[in-house]
Amino acid sequence: MGDDTQTSHDPSAQDAKSDGPPLGAGGPDAGDQIECSSIPNGDSGSAATTRLYKKRWAIVFLFSSYSLSNAYQWIQYGIISNIMMKFYNVDAMAVDWLSMVYMLTYIPFIFPVTWLLDKKGLRVTALLASALNCAGTWIKVASAQPDLFLVTVLGQFASSLAQVFILGMPSRLASVWFGADEVSTACSIGVFGNQMGIAIGFLIPPILVPNVDDMNELAYHIRIMFYISAGVASVIFILVIIVFQERPEIPPSQAQAQARNIPPDEYSYTASIMRLLRNKPFMLLVLSYGLNVGCFYAVSTLLNRMIIEHYPGEEVNAGRIGLTIVVAGMVGSLICGIWLDKTKTYKQTTLVVYLLSLIGMLVYAFTLNLGHLWVVFITAGGLGFFMTGYLPLGFEFAVELTYPESEGTSSGLLNCSAQIFGIIFTISQGKIIDKWGTLAGNIFLSIFLLIGTVITGFIKSDLRRQKANLKAEVQTVSKVTADLEGDVSPNEILRDRKL
């Protein structure tokens, strides 16, 4: 791959590189290899080769792209809810359900989808996700008429079904393709795409669809918005068909090498679910994660209503405030992912970010009605930095607590909790805002963030994946030390490690 190819300087790694198994026709090109080393395989003492491929970056960015397209569709109605109410002649709750259908669809479909992810793998899941996402966008193109609200609901349902195949993939994709010191960063990039989609969903619809009274003109603008999203989704679907690959030929980490050695007939999806449900630290994380992300879903869905109540006619700025929330969160996600890869302080980082999310929510709640939009931009950005920055933390902490269970299954349970709380909080906060105003609605969410912070403090930090990788390193050092003390020559040591 040119001069930027990096290869391990470990002599045993060089041996592994030269004699490693050939890659299949569907595998990454040998030129994509950038690092390889030998690691002990479980307790057997034998060496298993690990290798990183440059193609892993193309895979994670392609995933982020179709996740972006899908997340954009989630919020594209809600951020212009007042315009959609007028165009389709429906009430606020009907438009809110165009966002909440994403949450509702997830709950019954998550278990069959995670089973499919475990049985069929990443490529089949990616193809189904991008196909459903593309289909949803084209159905919505046909719904740009005031009497076709049910058609737009059908299109949104197809897109919401695609989301079920997307939300549980970042941690699984990171584990399958990335090394032990990269998984948190890779997971953050996967979540980054989803957040970027929400950001674009906040920004673009208010610009493309102005609040005009002429229904024909409004239909034209809405149709343009739908055509753009359909074109982007179609290009991404084609790229997924061509580029997206199931997994690298050689595993990227010790933990992944061990996971591959588990015979398929020894894995039971039902038994895995039951083990997760009996895992107390993980179940506490499921609850606290659901509370935090459910609050984020409620704030995002109802943002237009909250801003318009205090700043009438500011639909475009409502979208910009939503953009500020998510962009700040993307920065927070990347920083948290890099921090976790460097420090492995999962429990401490999760607790601090959760507490700061609570503080950010309280500040936002008490400054929203001051009459200064620039203040709202600042406080919303602070809220987003920590609240959406928490998303990859929850995913990666869950993988650590549940290793070697499937990452898709643990992520699925986290997201299921988030969808349930998202529906409850969105409906409840909407009712509270209608009756008592935005301050009461935001304090309502703050109470549950406080509860989530306390729950996070009780989670026991049992980092199982880190223990597996550390055990591998200890075995390697012990074997080399024993061979040296036994007067074995360095060449024999290298030959043993290679084998």
Is the predicted pLDDT of residue 105 greater than 50, yes or no?
yes
- Is the C-alpha dihedral spanning 305, 309, 311, 313 positive or negative? positive
Instruction: Give 181's DSSP letter.
Output: T
- pLDDT at position 484, please? 64
Higher pLDDT, 494 or 388: 388
- pLDDT at position 31, please? 40
Is the predicted pLDDT of residue 209 greater than 80, yes or no?
yes
Separation between Cα atoms, residue 83 and residue 2, nearest integer Å? 53
pTM across the whole model: 0.71
Considering 8-22, 170-184, 209-223, 324-338, the range whose residues carry the highest mean pLDDT is 209-223
Give the domains, in start order, of the chain with CATH numbers.
52-250 (1.20.1250.20), 271-481 (1.20.1250.20)
- pLDDT at position 175, please? 82
- pLDDT at position 83, please? 92
pLDDT in tens, 52-62: 888 888 898 99
Average pLDDT over residues 459-483: 68
